[in-house]
Amino acid sequence: MTTQILSTDEALPFQTAVSEAVRLLNAGQVVALPTETVYGLAADALNPEAVARIFEAKERPSFDPLIVHLPHRKDLETVAEVPEDIEPVLKKIAEAFWPGPLTIVLPKKACVPDIVTAGLPTVAVRVSKDPVFTRVVRTFNKPLAAPSANRFGSLSPTSASAVKAELDGRIPLILDGGASNHGLESTIIKIEPNSPKPLITILRPGPITQDDLKPFGIIKLGYKPDKKIRHGAAAPEPAIEAPGMLASHYAPRTPLRLMENPEDFIPEPGKKYALLSYRGEADDGYTELTEWVGMHILSPGKGKLIEAGVRLFYALRELDKLGVDEIIAEPVAEHGLGAAIMDRLRRASVKRQ
């Protein structure tokens, strides 16, 4: 199979690209589409054979459920039950963040095939804000299942060329919508009734931060911001409910080590290293530790977390091409979006089994 990339940057190519994507989706095929977080690999969520093609292309194990993307916020009840006891808060959260980078786990409706939810009684739902994705899903007019468009366990793609590097020859079409706005996967939450305020569990940290969600309820972390995870350590099984949140995930092929203290870095003679730097400042203690074969700076000088998030997976992909023995990653400030960036770096630094 040849993988075609279609541009969407002007009116006519946009129309052509959308029509071709919708034609393929109607035929039960998979299509890679931009979203504001990362690129997704989409298929008709209500067609189990189409969804099976996603698992095949990604080599994704069947125990890892997919996110379902709706055409409109109001379509929620076509795929999910809205329990009465969380309805008011769910409505407020959906109004505040949809369309946007937030995924909500809810009890599923019977029409959602088991292959989408890996047999779970719940479904993860989101409404994307990306103009290309929005046009495709609204023209298709049915929910789309779409995980990130990478091989299982690898880095999420934040550009059409990154999708091609992951899935070339395995999928018929990629729509090029330019670089992803956020560069990090959506925040995943579940909501439970609780008095006096509902309980919001963050299953995966992302662009919608703990502070963004605080006004809506009591926040609980369903993932482990475990400072002890180190490269080479046995991968601890996370006590979480998002089965895809494996300890080793979002990883480049080159081993990566999150180095929380620059003093701990002792280069081994003959080994080649590359640095993922946060601000690229000598004061931070990393840039001059050794003769780096390559260095990528996430947010030069200022250290802006939003900029760092956008560049993270791109920088890791570039460092992965250098053929070094190890990538050393400098931590970022762990507040706001920094929680999501550090989560991805910790998962990237756990040795694959």
For residue 76, what are its two tokens?
């929620």
With beta carbons less than 8 A apart as the criterion, state whether 101 and 187 touch: yes
Rounded to a whole number, what is the distance in angstroms from the first to the last CA of the chain? 31
| Residue of closest CB approach to ligand TXA | 244
Shortest distance in whole angstroms from residue 35 CB to ligand TXA? 5
The single residue among 6, 124, 137, 328 that binds ligand TXA, judged by CB under 6 A, is 124
Shortest distance in whole angstroms from residue 349 CB to Mg ion? 17
The single residue among 8, 35, 78, 154 that binds ligand TXA, judged by CB under 6 A, is 35
Specify the DSSP class assigned to residue 214: G
User: Nearest-CA neighbor of 188 among 129, 88, 260, 106?
Assistant: 106
The single residue among 160, 173, 188, 315 that binds ligand TXA, judged by CB under 6 A, is 188
For residue 28, give every residue at least 6 positions away whose Cβ sits within 8 Å of its Cβ, in sequence order, or none.
43, 44, 47, 49, 50, 53
CA angle 287, 348, 235 (to 5 degrees): 125
For residue 141, give every residue at least 6 positions away whose Cβ sits within 8 Å of its Cβ, in sequence order, or none.
71
Q: Is 148 in the site for Mg ion (CB under 5 A)?
A: yes
Q: Is 287 in the site for ligand TXA (CB under 6 A)?
A: no
Q: Is 40 in the site for ligand TXA (CB under 6 A)?
A: yes
Amino acid at 144: L
Shortest distance in whole angstroms from residue 148 CB to Mg ion? 3
- From ligand TXA, Mg ion, none, interface partner of 66 (C-beta below 5 to 8 A by class): ligand TXA
Give the containing element (helix H, strand E) for 91. helix 87-97
Tally of CB atoms within 10 A around 275: 23
For residue 162, give every residue at least 6 positions away whose Cβ sits within 8 Å of its Cβ, in sequence order, or none.
39, 150, 155, 313, 314, 317
Shortest distance in whole angstroms from residue 320 CB to ligand TXA? 18
Using the rule CB under 5 A, give the single segment among 148-156, 297-305, 307-315, 340-348 that binds Mg ion: 148-156
- From ligand TXA, Mg ion, none, interface partner of 186 (C-beta below 5 to 8 A by class): ligand TXA
Q: 222 or 303: whose CB is closer to ligand TXA?
A: 222
| Residue position matching structure tokens 């280069």 | 267
Binding mask 42-81 for ligand TXA (x = CB under 6 A): ----------------------xxxx--------------
Using the rule CB under 6 A, give the single segment among 3-11, 146-154, 305-313, 325-333 that binds ligand TXA: 146-154
Footprint on this chain of Mg ion (rule: CB under 5 A): 148
Footprint on this chain of ligand TXA (rule: CB under 6 A): 35, 37-38, 40, 64-67, 103, 105, 117, 120, 122-124, 126, 146-148, 185-186, 188, 203, 241-245
